[in-house]
Amino acid sequence: MTLILDADDLVGVLDYPTAIEAVEGAFRDLGSGKVVMPVRLTIRVEAHEGVSAFMPAYLPGKDQLGIKVVSAFGRNREKFGLPTVIGSILLLDAKSGMPMAIVDGTYVTAVRTAAASAVATKYMAREDASTLGIFGSGVQGETHLLAISEVRRLDGAVVNSRDPKRCEDFCERMSKKTGIKVRPGRPQQVAESDIVVTATTSKTPVFDGSWVKRGTHI
């Protein structure tokens, strides 16, 4: 029987330390040639300003086989009240090809993406990096704050996004959730942080590169 897991099933079991460790392990397996992972296929859905990416992988050593489909439809929030990025995962039995599970991939992708940034931050940011600047107060703004606070001791975070009210609400909610002082700021203040996250859907630059300090991790 195929198991069906939705986001509620995952929220309680996939925490950030687990995700960061899993992503680091996956990068290591990939780097040491233990993963069969064809280049992802993408389909542009021009009529609806979207793109869907199809990403299969097979881990022979672990007998794991599956595919994740992730779509990014930039106007989902305003048109349907849906997330910009939506994912689904199909896991197959590597011995027979039988479908084992269909798993919500939206939460997994939101956490996994930030976990990858946390792995990069763990190894590449300065040890004493303590201020985080985030462009974007959406899904990735949130998951990046949660993931990066696992790998560096943050004194505070400053956030900039388009709609000031949404940005303020985000800062208030995330301050309560993390215990870190999260406040809205101007683009230059965000860019001057020790670690900078760019998590917007903007198609044009959101800050001037000359504002970035030497030694910043982006």
The binding site for ligand NAP (CB under 6 A) comprises: 72, 77, 84-85, 109-110, 113, 135-141, 161-163, 166, 199-202, 206
The smaller minimum CB distance to ligand NAP, of residues 66 and 87, is found at 87
For residue 172, the minimal CB distance to ligand NAP (Å) is 14
**What whole-number distance in Å separates Cα of residue 148 and Cα of residue 151?**
5
Element (H, E) at 44: strand 41-45
The smaller minimum CB distance to ligand NAP, of residues 100 and 110, is found at 110
Q: Are 108 and 10 in contact (CB under 8 A)?
A: yes
Name the token pair of 180: 């870190």
The smaller minimum CB distance to ligand NAP, of residues 77 and 183, is found at 77
For residue 214, the minimal CB distance to ligand NAP (Å) is 24
Residue labelled with tokens 């792995």: 119
Active site residue 213: no
Marked catalytic residue, from 68, 122, 203, 213: 68
For residue 155, the minimal CB distance to ligand NAP (Å) is 23
Residues with catalytic annotation?
68
